[in-house]
């Protein structure tokens, strides 16, 4: 897919914007705090139905205004997709796809797949397992709607089971009532584990290749720390075995909500032993692996967004990265105009000017 056109109304520091993009490389350049990341955020929002910024969605609305609107048109050889998002101070967000209202955000996911990378994504390698699960979830949800809905159901059932664990007075009554949740949890949880296991298997070679290419030879390895069960029945048994422990803890201690990926470089764990530069390249390689994974699953490349990554990479890595990205529509933001190629869009105080 390729984003052809973006129109913004009252989106952060943009009052009115209408801009067309190149089907290959788009460089957004400008000084700090001018609106580069805001523009990227608008694209991300239209494609994934939410922001990568943790702040409240309503804060997106331009200060002093009461609504904000994103319209985005994307195309490939066979179809055109139009997404429209409206945020209002007094109402819930409204998303439309091809003119029709979307009730569930899951219905937007994967229609215009994107891969987003910013220096903040270093947390994918460095921080808690939750970050790595988020990475898996975004990828699988964009390529497999069923996975997204499975995950939502899993979270609901898990929540119900945890509530029961917390509110039950004694173990005996708990054991009688918890079974219904355990059955559901084992059924859904095991499917999620299988999907994640397959996903890691599939992206590992892609990530290895990307990493070897960008770093110039280091060997990357990904290991899925899978919950230790090989069937739904085993899963169910495990849950019932753990019920006493979970009762004491007040939460469910087993399942894919606790799993993780271990990442190794030349057999050392990157999280603890990798340098900052190595961790950064690993995070980038995982993102580049997403490109290939999505291509394999959907038959076409997603859109790649690289926010502020140039300042953190040396020239060699930068050149190799740009070679790698020539295969899909790419958006790059930078403060350094000398690094800009392709269609160059200068951004100043929420206004754009196309230079070439
Ligand atoms: N809701 C909003 N209304 C108006 N301006 C906003 C809003 N949210 C953020 N901004 C402004 O956007 C600017 C930051 O833009 P950003 O795209 O993050 O900068 P950069 O070009 O460095 O990536 C800041 O000047 C900030 O004050
Ligand atoms: Mg920025």
- Please report, for the chain, the start and end positions of each structural domain, with discontinuous segments joined by +: 1-113+302-356, 122-300
Nearest atom in ligand 1 to the alpha carbon of residue 38 is 17
pLDDT of residue 55: 77
Token pair recorded at residue 194: 């299988």
CATH 3.40.50.620 describes domain 1-113+302-356? no
pLDDT digits (tens, 9 = 90+) for 54-92: 779 999 999 999 999 999 999 998 999 999 999 999 999
pLDDT of residue 33: 98
Nearest to 85 by CA among 138, 139, 40, 47: 47
Question: In a mutational test of the pocket of ligand 1, which residue from 35, 119, 120 has the highest number of ligand atoms less than 8 Å from its CB?
Answer: 35
Could you list the pLDDT tens digit for every one of the 356 residues in the chain? 999 999 999 999 999 999 999 999 999 999 999 999 999 999 999 999 999 997 799 999 999 999 999 999 999 989 999 999 999 999 999 999 999 999 888 889 999 999 999 999 999 999 999 999 999 999 999 999 999 999 999 999 999 999 999 999 999 999 999 999 999 999 999 999 999 999 999 999 999 999 998 888 889 999 999 999 999 999 999 999 999 999 999 999 999 999 999 999 999 999 999 999 899 999 999 999 999 999 999 999 999 999 999 888 888 888 889 988 888 999 999 999 999 999 999 999 999 999 98
Q: Which residues contact 331 (CB under 8 A, 6 or more apart)?
A: 21, 26, 28, 40, 43, 303, 304, 305, 306
Q: Across-strand partners of 306?
A: 117, 332
Nearest atom in ligand 1 to the alpha carbon of residue 333 is 23
Rounded CA-CA distance 55/284 in Å is: 24
pLDDT of residue 16: 98
Helices (H), the chain: 36-48, 123-126, 129-143, 145-167, 171-215, 232-241, 243-249, 270-273, 276-298, 315-324
Pocket of ligand 1 (CB under 6 A): 12-13, 30, 32-38, 59-63
Please tell me the residue having the least CA distance from ligand 1 atom 26.
33
Asked if residue 311 lies in contact with residue 15, where contact means CB atoms within 8 angstroms, the answer is: no
pLDDT of residue 344: 97
Rounded CA-CA distance 81/98 in Å is: 6
pLDDT digits (tens, 9 = 90+) for 133-188: 999 999 999 999 999 999 999 999 999 999 999 999 999 999 999 999 999 999 99
pTM of the model: 0.93
Burial class (CB in 10 A: 0-12, 13-18, 19+), 97: middle
CA of 308 to the centre of ligand 2 (A): 6
pLDDT of residue 105: 85
The fold of 122-300 is Glutathione S-transferase Yfyf (Class Pi); Chain A, domain 2 (1.20.1050)
pLDDT of residue 106: 86
Question: In a mutational test of the pocket of ligand 1, which residue from 17, 27, 29, 33 has the highest number of ligand atoms less than 8 Å from its CB?
Answer: 33
pLDDT of residue 68: 98
Question: In a mutational test of the pocket of ligand 1, which residue from 9, 13, 311 has the highest number of ligand atoms less than 8 Å from its CB?
Answer: 13
Nearest atom in ligand 1 to the alpha carbon of residue 10 is 3
pLDDT of residue 310: 87
Query: Of all residues in the chain, what percent are helix, strand and coil, respectively (each to 5)?
Result: 50, 25, 25
């Amino acid at each position: 897919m390729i984003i052809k056109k973006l129109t913004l109304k009252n989106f952060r520091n943009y009052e009115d914007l209408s801009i067309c993009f190149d089907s290959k490389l788009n460089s957004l350049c400008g000084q700090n705090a001018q609106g580069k990341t805001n523009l990227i955020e608008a694209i991300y929002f239209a494609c994934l139905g939410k922001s990568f910024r943790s702040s409240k969605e309503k804060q997106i609305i331009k200060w002093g205004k009461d609504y904000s609107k994103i319209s985005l048109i994307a195309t490939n050889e066979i179809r055109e997709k139009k997404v429209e998002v409206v945020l209002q101070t007094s109402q819930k967000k409204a998303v439309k796809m091809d003119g029709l209202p979307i009730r569930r955000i899951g219905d937007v996911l994967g229609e215009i797949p994107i891969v987003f990378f910013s220096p903040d994504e270093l947390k994918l390698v460095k921080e808690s397992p939750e970050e790595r699960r988020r990475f898996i979830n975004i990828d699988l949800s964009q390529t497999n709607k069923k996975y997204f809905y499975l995950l939502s159901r899993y979270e609901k059932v898990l929540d119900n089971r945890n509530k029961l664990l917390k509110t039950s007075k004694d173990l005996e009554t708990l054991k009688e009532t918890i079974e219904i949740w355990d059955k559901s949890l084992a059924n859904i949880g095991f499917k999620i584990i299988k999907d994640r296991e397959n996903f890691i298997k599939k992206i590992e070679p892609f990530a290895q290749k990307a990493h070897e290419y960008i770093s110039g030879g280091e060997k990357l390895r990904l290991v899925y720390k899978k919950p230790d069960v090989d069937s739904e029945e085993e899963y169910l048994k495990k849950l019932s075995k753990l019920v006493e422990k979970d009762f004491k803890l007040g939460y469910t201690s087993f399942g894919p909500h606790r799993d993780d990926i271990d990442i190794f470089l030349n057999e050392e764990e990157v999280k603890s032993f990798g340098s900052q530069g190595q961790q950064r390249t690993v995070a980038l390689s995982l993102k580049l692996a997403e490109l290939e994974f999505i291509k394999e699953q959907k038959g076409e490349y997603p859109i790649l967004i690289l926010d502020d990554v140039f300042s953190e990479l040396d020239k060699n890595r930068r050149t190799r990265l740009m070679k790698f990205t020539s295969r899909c529509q790419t958006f790059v933001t930078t403060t350094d105009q000398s690094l800009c190629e392709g269609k160059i869009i200068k951004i100043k105080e929420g206004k754009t000017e196309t230079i070439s």
